Structure formats: C-alpha cells, structure tokens
C-alpha cells in the first residue's frame, strides 16, 4: 500500500498517548496492505483514509463514544450501496441515496477478520465503480 514519506511520523502524532489503539491500527493496516496492495493510505487530522480510485475506508479514534463501546478501540468506516445488517455494525447511515456508511468497532486485533475484510473488499469494489 502506498504511503507518504511522512507516514510513520504522522501515524505517531495521530496515536500519541494511544499505544493500544495504535496496535489495533497496525493489525488493520497489515491486513489492508495485504488485501489492497495497490491502495493508498493517508493520515489526516481526524482519520486515516484508505483510497483506491476513491476513498473506500477509514480508521479513526472515536470522538463520540457510545456507552457500551470499549475504552480502547478504533472505528473502521466504509461505504456500500446497501445497508449491512450485522451485530458488528455499530452505526449505519445513508448520507446519499444508495450510499450507506458503516462503522465497525475494532477492540481487539482478532476483530480484523475475514468478515471485516470481506466488507472492505466490497467497499473497494463499490468505490472503484463510483462516478
């Protein structure tokens, strides 16, 4: 996966004081790097964005945490053309017609599993075909 020359430093700043969340992100990045070798990743102020032709997924630290979410977690966000129905989906919204944004709470490295990667592959395909 393509990163900027400042990726490591930007990542360090993003996760300052959050070593557990950084470990979760590293598990996610390793899986994403394997699944999407032609993708790009960019560390931004509020999220880490994953791109193919377009943005297809993001990882972020929860800003507004729900009561039942773990203290240390990462939110993985992706878009599909339909709403997923799964207990793993923490929040789903339809910001545009037929574009559904999904948020999954990742609290353990094992949460980055085949099911999540399958959804991310669908998100990649969906984003590659957007106009």
Q: Where are the domains of the chain?
A: 7-128
pTM of the complete model: 0.93
| pLDDT of the residue at 94 | 92
**Residues 41 and 48: beta-carbon distance below 8 Å:** yes
Sheet holding 89-96, edge to edge: 40-43, 48-51, 55-60, 74-80, 99-106, 89-96
Distance, CA of 122 to CA of 2 (rounded, Å): 20
pLDDT in tens, 1-22: 999 999 999 999 999 999 999 9
pLDDT in tens, 61-110: 998 777 888 989 999 999 999 999 999 999 999 988 889 999 999 999 99
């Amino acid at each position: 996966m393509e990163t900027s020359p400042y990726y490591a430093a930007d990542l360090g700043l993003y996760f300052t004081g959050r070593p557990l969340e950084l470990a979760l992100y590293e598990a996610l990045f390793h899986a994403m790097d394997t699944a999407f070798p032609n993708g790009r990743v960019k560390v931004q102020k509020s999220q880490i964005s994953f791109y193919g032709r377009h943005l297809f997924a993001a990882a972020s630290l929860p800003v507004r945490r729900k009561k039942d979410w773990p203290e240390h977690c990462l939110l993985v966000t992706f878009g599909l053309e339909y709403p997923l129905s799964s207990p793993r989906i923490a929040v789903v919204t339809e910001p545009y017609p037929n574009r559904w944004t999904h948020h999954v709470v990742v609290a353990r490295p094992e949460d980055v599993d085949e099911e999540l990667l399958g959804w991310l592959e669908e998100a990649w395909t969906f984003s590659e075909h957007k106009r």
